[in-house]
Amino acid sequence: MAIKKDLLDILVCPKCKGVLELTDSADGLICHACMLNYPIIDEIPVMLADEAVSLKKDADKSDSE
């Protein structure tokens, strides 16, 4: 069972209230403004800023490559 579209439609970033984008592998929701990935664990979106994974390291890594 994938995460429901209805649920995706009502979710926003807890930090900036901006839109979220589902990752290609459907295991996270990305806020591009905050550079955070909110994990989806067992099809439950975890909308807690403390639990989000920062994407800044990945971006820095890409920049330096």
Partner 1 sequence: MKTAITGTAGFIGSHLAEKVLSEGHEVIGIDCFTDYYPKDYKLNNLTNVLKNKNFSLLQTDIVNCDLTSVFKKVDIIWHLAAQAGVRASWGDQFRLYSDYNILGTQRVLEAARVCGVSRLVYASSSSVYGDVNEFPMRETTYPKPVSPYGVSKLAGEHLCMLYATNYNLPTISLRYFTVYGPRQRPDMAFHKFIRAVLRSETPVLFGNGDQTRDFTYIDDIVDATWKAGILADAVPGIYNIGGGSRISMNDVIDLMQDIMDQPIHPVRSDRQKGDVRHTAADISAAAATLGYAPKTVLKDGLSQEVEWLKSIANGGIYGY
Using CB under 8 A, list all residues that contact partner 1: 4, 6-7, 10-12, 14, 17, 41, 44-49
Between 8 and 55, name the residue whose CB sits nearer to partner 1: 8
The least distance separating partner 1 from the CB of residue 59, rounded to whole angstroms, comes to 24
CA-CA distance, 59 to 65, in Å (whole number)?
A: 10
What is residue 12's DSSP assignment?
-
Give the up-direction half-sphere exposure of residue 8: CA atoms within 13 A in the CB hemisphere: 17
Between 4 and 57, name the residue whose CB sits nearer to partner 1: 4
Between 26 and 49, name the residue whose CB sits nearer to partner 1: 49
CA-CA distance, 22 to 28, in Å (whole number)?
A: 6
